Amino acid sequence: MHFGSTNTRQPYYFELQQIETHSTERDLGVIFDEHISFQSHIDSIVNRARRLTCMMFRSFYSRSPSVIVPIYKTLIRPLLEYATAVWNPHQLKQVKQVESVQRYITKRILKYSNASYDERLRILHIPSLEARRKYFDLVEIYKVVNKLSFVDNNLSYSFVNRPSRGHVFRIRCCKYTRNVRKFALFVRAINAWNIIPSYIVNETQLPVFKRLLCTYLNLNLT
Mind giving me the DSSP string for 32-68? Answer: EETT---HHHHHHHHHHHHHHHHHHHHH-----HHHH
Neighbours of 184 (CB within 10 A): 18
Q: What is the pLDDT of residue 176?
A: 73
pLDDT, greater one: 156 or 58: 58
Dihedral of alpha carbons 199, 196, 166, 204, sign: positive
Q: How many angstroms separate the CA atoms of 141 and 134, rounded? A: 11
Q: What is the pLDDT of residue 116?
A: 94
The per-residue pLDDT for range 87-126, each reduced to its tens digit, is 999 999 999 999 999 999 999 998 888 899 999 999 999 9
Q: How many angstroms separate the CA atoms of 155 and 143, rounded? A: 12
Confidence class for position 192, pLDDT limits 50, 70, 90? very high
Kindly list the domain boundaries of the chain, sorted by start residue: 13-126, 133-217
**CA-only gyration radius of the chain, Å:** 20
Distances (CA, A) of 186 to 96, 125, 133, 150, 178: 23, 30, 14, 15, 14
Strand partners, 26: 31
Average pLDDT over residues 203-212: 95
Strands 17-18, 30-33: pairing is unpaired
- One DSSP character per residue, 101-144 reads HHHHHHHHSTT-TTS-HHHHHHHHT---HHHHHHHHHHHHHHHH
Q: Do 96 and 130 contact (CB within 8 A), yes or no?
A: no
Q: How many angstroms separate the CA atoms of 200 and 22, rounded? A: 44
pTM for this one?
A: 0.86
Average pLDDT over residues 170-184: 78
Total residues found in the chain within this entry: 222
Which helix (H) or strand (E) segment is 85 a member of? helix 84-87
Q: How many angstroms separate the CA atoms of 104 and 123, rounded? A: 15
